[in-house]
Chains A and B, each alone.
Chain A
Amino acid sequence: MQRHAALLWLILSRIPALFGIQLATKTLATPTGKKSIFIRHLDGGSTNAVEMELAALTNPIYDLNQYGIRFVASPRHADVLLITGPLTRNMVHVAEATFDAMPSPKRIVTAGDCADWLHGGSSCLFAHSYATVPLPEEMRQAIVLHIPGDPPAPERILQALLTLPTA
C-alpha cells in the first residue's frame, strides 16, 4: 500500500513540471519529510570569524550532525551553499564555478554581516572597497536565508539552519 502511494506521488508530482509549473521551490524537505541538508561552505573573502563559528557547530556541544545536517567536501554533493565574507574580485569566478557545480535544486545561505546581499548590500567595512563586488545576480536570487552577526554565534546559526525547509 505504501509503495503504491509513493509511486503515485512520484507520477503526480511530475505533472506540473510538464505544464511548466513549478511547485513550492523553496522547500528542501524530501518526499519522506526528512530535513537533512548537505552544506558546502564557501569563503568569499571573510575575516575568518564566521568560519570559526561554523567549525564550532561540529563540536559535541552543538553537534550539527545530530540533525542530519552536515558539511560536505564537494559542491556536487550539496543542497546549500553557505557563503561567508564579502565577495572579493579574485573570488568571483571561483564562487560562480562552485555554484555551477551544484546539482538542482540548490539554494544559498549567507552568514555574517559582510555577506548580506539579501537585503540589498552589506554595511560592513569592506562594502565600498575596490576589491569587493556584489554577488552575481543568479546567485543572489538563490539566497533563501541570511544569518546576521559579526560573527553570528553558533546557536544562532544552528537555529537558522533548522528553519531552512520552511524559509
Chain B
Amino acid sequence: MSTQAFQEVYHRASNFGELLNPLEQNQVWLQVRHPERLLAFAEQLKPAEWAMVSVVGNDERELEDQCFKIYYILSHQGEDLFLTIEYPLEFGHTVYPSLYHLFPAVDPFEREMCDLLGLMPAAPRSSQVERGSWLHAAYPTDLYPLRRDLTTAQLVQILVTYTPRPQPVRSSPLAQGTRLFPVGPVHAGIIESGRFGFHIGGEAIQELDLQLGYKHKGIERIFQTQLNLHDGWRLAEQVASDSAVAHALAYCHAVETLAACEVPRPAQLLRALLLELERIYNHVGDIGTLVHDVAFDLVAAELACVREELVRLNDTVMGHRYLKGRIRPGGIQLVHPLNADLLRIRLRALTQRFGGWAERVLGMTSFRDRAIGTGVLSKTDANAVGAVGLTARASGIARDFRHLHPIGAFADPALRLRLLDPEQAHGVSPNAEFDESTAGDVYARCLTRLREVAHSTEFIEAVLDEWRELPDRNETDLTVPVHFKPEQNYTAALGFAEGWRGDVVYWVMQDKLDQIYRCKVRDPSVLNWQALRRALVPDPSRAGRAAAMLPDFPVINKSFNLSYTGNDL
C-alpha cells in the first residue's frame, strides 16, 4: 500500500463527511450522512481505480445512531487499499440514494437489501429493483428477515401460517419471434437448483432471465442469532462446500482482526496450502466436466479419476475430502502431523497427469473449435458488472487478492512469486495482454485454470520447503487463543481470501463481547452470475457481436461454474 494513494483518498474523503478509525491499517473509513454528499463523493471515485467489493445493509436501529446503515466497501485496483463508505439512512427511513449509475456492480446487493432488509434505492433506480431475487412467493412481501425487530421464532410463526400466493416466475417481455425456453430449477444432471429463462430466436439467446434464490437458507441470520464469533467458522464452511477453505479463511481473517490476534507462521503456511489445494481439485474437476459437455468423454473420465485421487489426497493429509474442519479463528488444527513428503510426491504426480491430459485436449482442433470464441465475456462487460477472480482474469482484468491484498503466507514476496508466470515475475505489468488466456471465452477460462493449477503446485512445494525447516512441523494444534474485547463492541472488520472462483469477502460486526451482530457473506458468485449473463446476452450497443447459442449454454455455464448456494445464502 503506498502512502500516497492512502493520503489522496483520505484527504479527498475528508471534504465529504467524517473520517472514522477502522481496525485495518490499509483502510479509509468515511461516514457520509447526506445523500448529495454521498453521490458527490462517489462521483469522484474513478471506476478505473476503485472496484465495488461488497455492500452491507445493516439494521442498527437499536444502536447509537438508531437507523439503518449501508456500508459500501471498495478495493483499490492497483494498491493494497480499501475504502469503506458508511451511509446512515435518515431516522425512520428506508430509502437511500443508489450508486448504480456509477458502480453497476451494486445491482445484486441492492436487490438483496430490498428482499432481506426492505431498503429501497431512490427513484429512478427504484423501478428496476423488485422483490423476489432471494425471497420468492413463499414469503410474504412485508417480511424482512435481516431486520432485528422480530425474533426468529416470530418470523417462523408468520411463515408457518402464511399461504403462498400463486405467482408465476418473473419473466421480462418476449420480443417478437422469440420463445421462452425455461430451464430449471431442477436440472437434468446432478447440479444445484436455479432457473434460467432463455428468450430464444431459433437457437440464438436473445435474453436471459436469471432466477436464483431457490437455495436461500437464511445463513446471515443464522450467523447473528445462533453462533458466536468463536464458532462462526463452522457455518462459513457450509456456505459453499467447494469453497469451504476460502470461506473459513475469510471469516477467520475478519474475526482475528476484531480480536487483534496474530496467527503464527506455521498456521499461516498451512492455511495458504489448503487454499491452494482447494483451488487445484476444483480446477481439475471443472476441466473434466467441461470437456464432457463437448463430448470428450475419454478425457473427462481420466480427469474425473485425477480429481478423485486429489480429493482422496486431501482426506489422507487433512482428514476431510473437502478440507473442512481444520481452519478456525487463531490458526489451524490438524488431525495428525502433516505428511509433507507424501503430499509433495502425490500432488506433483497428480498435477502432472492433469497437465498432460489438459494440454492435450486444449490443443485439439475440435475442442478449440467449440471453446474459442464461445461465451465471450469482454473486458468492458466484466468491468461493468464488477466480475472478480478467475472470470475477471480470463477476461484480461488482473484481479487477484493474493497479489493485491496479500495476507498471511501470501504476504511473503518469495512465496507469491511462485504464483506468477516467468514473464509476470520479471516485472511485466499484469495488465499487459499476453495470450489466449485473457480472451474472455470458454477457452480462456480453461487455459487460466490449467495455468493456475501449475502455479498452485509450485506454491505448495515452496510452502513445504519452508515447512520442512520449522520446529513445529510435527505439531497438530497450531492455534493461538482468541480473545474479544468489549471496546470492540459494534465495531466491524473485513476478512477476505482469494477462493478459486474469486475473492470471498466477509464483513463481521461484533456484538456484545463474543457475539455476532452482523456477518455479511459475499461469495464471488454474487457478482459473477451477472458476468455470465453478459457473456450469454449480447449488449445491444455493441452491434455485430454474435449471440450465444443455446446448445453452447452447458459448456459456457461449466466454464464459469458459479455457486448457486454461495449466491443464495
Contacts and interface: CB of A to CB of B under 8 A. Distances in A.
A44 B565 CA distance: 11
A89 B308 contact: no
Contact of B217 (A55, A58, A131): A131
Contact of B218 (A75, A130, A153): A130
A136 to B, nearest CB: 13
A152 B451 CA distance: 31
Interface residues of B, number: 50
A128 interface: yes
Contacts of B271: none
Contact of A130 (B221, B289, B304): B221
Contact of B186 (A51, A55, A98, A125): A98
A49 B191 contact: no
B152 interface: yes
A51 B145 contact: no
A88 B217 contact: yes
B193 A43 contact: yes
Contacts of B240: 47-48
Interface stretch (B15-23, B63-71, B208-216, B534-542): B208-216
B193 A129 contact: no
B186 A49 contact: no
Interface string A22-56: 00000000000000000001111111110111111
A60 interface: yes
A90 B214 contact: yes
B215 A85 contact: yes
Interface in A120-160: 124-126, 128-132, 150-151, 153
Contacts of A92: 138
Interface stretch (B50-58, B91-99, B231-239, B495-503): B231-239
Given A42-B186, A48-B242, A130 B215 contact: no
Contacts of A44: 193
A164 interface: no
Given A42-B186, A45-B193, A59-B307, 11 more contacts: A45-B217, A48-B241, A48-B565, A74-B188, A94-B193, A125-B234, A126-B219, A129-B217, A130-B152, A132-B217, A151-B321
| Shortest Cβ-Cβ A-B pairs, 8 listed | A131-B218, A49-B241, A59-B304, A73-B188, A129-B218, A47-B241, A130-B155, A45-B215
